[in-house]
Structure 1
Amino acid sequence: MNLPSPSPWWRPDIHQDRRPFLEARGRILKAVRAWFDDRGFVEVETAGLQVSPGNEAHLHAFQTEALGLDGARRALYLRTSPEFACKSLLAAGEQRIFEISKVWRNRERGRLHHPEFTMLEWYRAEEPYESLMADCALLLALAAEAAGRPALTWRDSTCDPFAEPARLTLAEAFEDFAQIDLLATIATTGATDRDALATAATAVAVRVADDDTWSDVFSRVLVEKVEPNLGHGRPTILHEYPAAEAALARRKADDPRVAERFELYACGVELANAFGELTNATEQAARFEAEMAEKARVYGERYPIDPDFLAALQIMPEASGAALGFDRLVMLASGANHIEQVLWSPVAEICP
């Protein structure tokens, strides 16, 4: 038989070019673990196989199958995040935890996306989500110091990891970069006005299809008009997401149109996503059902809702949690221009 050509990653010359990025990865990993340990966090290890991979409409998982001793078959999924398990540990009594783990997301591949990647998640029980904003700022500086570089870089953008992040609400960002009054399209109940947002988006040359939902239009404006402007020069924290775009976050007490969710950006790249966690199990179940109905409408499939997680949520304390894409952080801190440069063993491309 004819032997296949080896993947380019295993050629010594190419591996040698990647090695500085991989060495930086190791230093950043060691520094992050020490940082959390110094602050009294417990490192946890949760299962990669889950009953539900997550219940967000546009999140895609890898499905597998478990065989019982009696031959019975049961669908399981590779986790898209350790979130459900970590929150269950908070319900069990843990106070400060973090996990650095492999997660899997299907339909994702590109300079910033890989089907298997590393997620850093951490949780603070009985602490506000503003605490996580401070954590994110410190972690950026930590990564740059460990990599031995003075700035975060991506393509032609530079970001000072030691600068205080700018804080911008979604309403402010839509007004500043798209001239759209976002909150005018959201009722106090959280209900959204699709036509009002579509009209505003069309006026600023954002394409809107007849079958687009409010969420579709929101996402397109965010991607086209807002995100390219974030995290240049210094990091940006984009916060107070519409409640309709924060399925796992609690609503803000002073404005129920928005939720306690923020994202961290550097060099135009989204690095972290954080919540003031929703702990109302009944409301969470309803949100999951709505997300899965939308997934079924768009993709013709839905994922199960994990009853064990909902049961844990009933006794989970108030908490805040963040998820940070570790590989992306390493990329920006080390100067890599593709996510596969910072992965020791990239997953092979799907061949036609």
Structure 2
Amino acid sequence: MSRARVTAAIRGWFAARDFVEVETPALQVSPGNEAHLHAFATEAVGIAGERAPLYLRTSPEFAAKKLLAAGEPRMFELARVWRNRERGPLHHPEFTLLEWYRAGEPYETLMADCASLLAVAAEAAGAKALIHRDCSIDPLAEPERVTLAEAFDRFAGIDLLARLGDRDALAAEAMGQGVRTAPDDTWADVFSRVLVEKIEPRLGRERATILCEYPVSEAALARPKTSDPRVAERFELYACGVELANCFGELTDPNEQRRRFEAEMAEKARVYGERYPIDEDFLAALGAMPEASGGALGLDRLVMLATGARRIEQVLWGPVAET
């Protein structure tokens, strides 16, 4: 019942702030264009037997941004989404994303939203603390803000901004910190290894952490910061070492977005031998979209922390059978 109470409280929180709840389609011509996200593929069969490929969405983002372009200023969705090749204590092939957007508001506003949602979930579940395994934190404590550059320096002794784009230099420093690398690793691969091994486990251990200002190359849907175009308006929320949310100041340049999508799909083809189509309607809408900020938060993980569950299946009404 805790899941139902948390869901109802979240709906009430957004309703009190004049957000409209939307329902966007799960079937999409493109499931998303990030290299390391994997979709479930299906197809539409017409009356005459004609067939067209479709995908179950990995996120409601493309459809929601079309609504922003159509004039919807504040919206949220509790969206069922699907990601293939993902299963573990914190991953499930079908899960729920809370996704919300604010037109005309800075992405720092979403930082405050995230802090409030932690408190809302804990109160709804009757929890005095957010708990995951050996970690317990106060859900009412103000999250700390840490940039990627600060985190790499603090936890890995690496000057991240000085190593942007320099794969060999970053790999050498990573190996010096005991992080394994491979000869065919890209800069992004090495960055991800350091992040996963040295930084993420140490985030949100005393209070929630907002990890912000990602390198632009690691923020495919976010706009660059005007004060430092090397980094993007992207942050992730962590609690008890668990990534809960991913938020952006949204990119609205369709040409730059196409370039990033094509680069992501080239990397996907290189690593996995496949690529997904680009949603041309989405790119067309992006050109009409207002400045906006948007976030995606894993509802299942939030309920896990509010109830102390150790595995995601413990907070799902009906987990997908393992194969």
TM-score, with length taken from structure 2: 0.99
Q: Which residue of 2 aligns with 1:349?
A: 322
Within 1, Cα distance between the matches of 2:237 and 2:195?
14
Q: Which residue of 2 aligns with 1:251?
A: 224
Q: Which residue of 2 aligns with 1:203?
A: 176
Q: Which residue of 2 aligns with 1:301?
A: 274
Q: Which residue of 2 aligns with 1:275?
A: 248
Pick the aligned partner of 2:313 from 315, 340, 352.
340
Within 1, Cα distance between the matches of 2:51 and 2:166?
44
Percentage of matched positions with identical amino acids: 74
Q: Which one-letter code corresponds to 1:26 in the other structure?
A: A
- Describe the SS at the equivalent of 1:208: coil
Q: Which residue of 2 aligns with 1:45?
A: 23
Q: Which residue of 2 aligns with 1:225?
A: 198
Within 1, Cα distance between the matches of 2:90 and 2:320?
14
- Offset, 1:199: 1.1
Kindly indicate whether residue 99 of structure 2 is the aligned counterpart of residue 121 of structure 1.
Answer: yes
Within 2, Cα distance between the matches of 1:142 and 1:133?
14
- Offset, 1:170: 0.1
Q: Which one-letter code corresponds to 1:174 in the other structure?
A: F
- Offset, 1:196: 1.3
Q: Which residue of 2 aligns with 1:10?
A: none
Within 2, Cα distance between the matches of 1:271 and 1:148?
19
- Offset, 1:70: 2.2
Q: Which residue of 2 aligns with 1:11?
A: none
Within 2, Cα distance between the matches of 1:95 and 1:196?
44
Within 2, Cα distance between the matches of 1:235 and 1:201?
26
Q: Which one-letter code corresponds to 2:98 in the other structure?
A: L
Within 1, Cα distance between the matches of 2:213 and 2:101?
19
TM-score, with length taken from structure 1: 0.91
- Describe the SS at the equivalent of 1:241: coil
- Size of the alignment, in residue pairs? 323
Q: Which residue of 2 aligns with 1:260?
A: 233
* Equivalent runs, 1:1-352 vs 2, <5 Å: 23-186=1-164, 192-350=165-323
- Offset, 1:68: 1.4
Q: For each residue in 1:86-123, what CA deviation from the matched residue of structure 2 results, as whole angstroms up to 9, or x when unmatched?
A: 01000000000000011000000011000000000000
Task: Point out where structure 1 has 5 or more consecutive residues left out of the alignment.
Answer: 1-22, 187-191
- Offset, 1:233: 1.7
In the TM superposition, structure 1's runs of 4+ consecutive aligned residues that sit over 3 Å from their partners are: none
Task: Point out where structure 2 has 5 or more consecutive residues left out of the alignment.
Answer: none
Within 1, Cα distance between the matches of 2:253 and 2:237?
26
- Offset, 1:221: 0.1
Within 1, Cα distance between the matches of 2:47 and 2:266?
34
Q: For each residue in 1:203-253, what CA deviation from the matched residue of structure 2 results, as whole angstroms up to 9, or x when unmatched?
A: 111111100000000000000000011001210000000001000000011
Q: For each residue in 1:3-32, what CA deviation from the matched residue of structure 2 results, as whole angstroms up to 9, or x when unmatched?
A: xxxxxxxxxxxxxxxxxxxx0000000000
Q: For each residue in 1:164-188, what CA deviation from the matched residue of structure 2 results, as whole angstroms up to 9, or x when unmatched?
A: 00000000000000000000012xx
Q: Which residue of 2 aligns with 1:4?
A: none
- Offset, 1:71: 1.4
CA-atom RMSD in angstroms: 0.5
Within 2, Cα distance between the matches of 1:320 and 1:159?
27
Q: Which one-letter code corresponds to 1:304 in the other structure?
A: P
Within 2, Cα distance between the matches of 1:196 and 1:308?
40
Q: For each residue in 1:47-75, what CA deviation from the matched residue of structure 2 results, as whole angstroms up to 9, or x when unmatched?
A: 00000000000000000010112211110
Q: Which one-letter code corresponds to 1:99 in the other structure?
A: E
Within 2, Cα distance between the matches of 1:72 and 1:308?
22
- Describe the SS at the equivalent of 2:214: strand
Q: For each residue in 1:227-286, what CA deviation from the matched residue of structure 2 results, as whole angstroms up to 9, or x when unmatched?
A: 011001210000000001000000011111100000000000000000000000000000
Q: Which one-letter code corresponds to 2:72 in the other structure?
A: E
Q: For each residue in 1:311-339, what CA deviation from the matched residue of structure 2 results, as whole angstroms up to 9, or x when unmatched?
A: 00010000000000000000000111110
